[in-house]
């Protein structure tokens, strides 16, 4: 197992830098990004052209080099390969895990968004290194998705062996309930 996959096993906090969410906030400087108390950073940009995504990915890659932070690119397998990110995160309608694995190689991390136990089991069987499960609670970043609730977190914690991150509407008021339901890892997009 490579060192980044070992770090994945020990990870706890996953921050998604979503261009849609973060464009209303000041940009992080490279030094601030390196100083964030996180284990994984994902770049997710569904609003910019690919050239902008590539430039942001390169900037983040440089900022995170020589740190213990895992850097994941959302959706864009080509950009993940080009900048040599630590891995890619796929949605349910993205490229199949097996094809992503063949293109990225066995040492890269592949994560998958899941919204049900069936999707989570499928991702695990297909070779995902981790999954995100949610949204646990309603969230303005994914208003089209119905919250999966704490019951699913309990099921996932019993049924899934690969690392999973609870995501969606998690904040300081409800994080205790998420952890009590069996989550050991949390992903956040909007910090409020």
| Number of domains comprising the chain | 1
pLDDT in tens, 19-75: 776 665 545 555 566 666 899 999 999 999 999 999 999 999 998 988 889 999 999
Residue 136 has, within 13 A of its CA and on its CB side, a CA count of 30
Q: What pLDDT score was predicted for residue 34?
A: 62
Find tokens 């996180």 and name the residue.
38
Check if the beta carbon of residue 42 is closer than 8 Å to that of residue 75. Answer: no
CATH, residue 170: 3.20.20.70
Q: What pLDDT score was predicted for residue 142?
A: 75
Check if the beta carbon of residue 88 is closer than 8 Å to that of residue 59. Answer: no
Tell how far CA 57 is from the center of its chain: 15
The whole-angstrom separation of Cα 77 and Cα 95 is 9
7 has a pLDDT exceeding 90: yes
Structural domain of 33: 3-188
The first and second tokens of residue 70, run together, are 């895992």
The whole-angstrom separation of Cα 147 and Cα 137 is 5
The first and second tokens of residue 182, run together, are 């069996």
């Amino acid at each position: 197992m490579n060192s980044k996959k070992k770090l994945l096993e020990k990870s706890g906090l996953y921050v998604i830098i979503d261009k849609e969410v973060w464009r209303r906030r000041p940009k992080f400087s490279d030094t601030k990004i390196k100083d964030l108390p996180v284990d994984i950073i994902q770049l997710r940009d569904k609003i910019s052209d690919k050239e902008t995504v590539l430039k942001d990915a390169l900037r983040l890659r440089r900022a995170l080099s020589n740190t213990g932070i895992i850097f994941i690119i959302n959706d864009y397998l080509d950009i993940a390969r080009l900048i040599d990110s630590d891995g890619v995160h796929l949605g349910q309608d993205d490229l199949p895990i097996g094809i992503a694995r063949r293109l990225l190689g066995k040492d890269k991390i592949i994560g998958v968004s899941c919204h049900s136990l069936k999707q989570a089991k499928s991702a695990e069987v297909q070779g995902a290194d981790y999954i995100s499960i949610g949204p646990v609670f309603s969230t303005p970043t994914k208003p089209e998705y119905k919250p999966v609730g704490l019951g699913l977190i309990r099921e996932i914690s019993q049924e899934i062996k690969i690392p999973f991150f609870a995501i969606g509407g998690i904040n300081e008021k409800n994080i205790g309930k998420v952890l009590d339901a069996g989550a050991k890892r949390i992903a956040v997009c909007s910090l409020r």
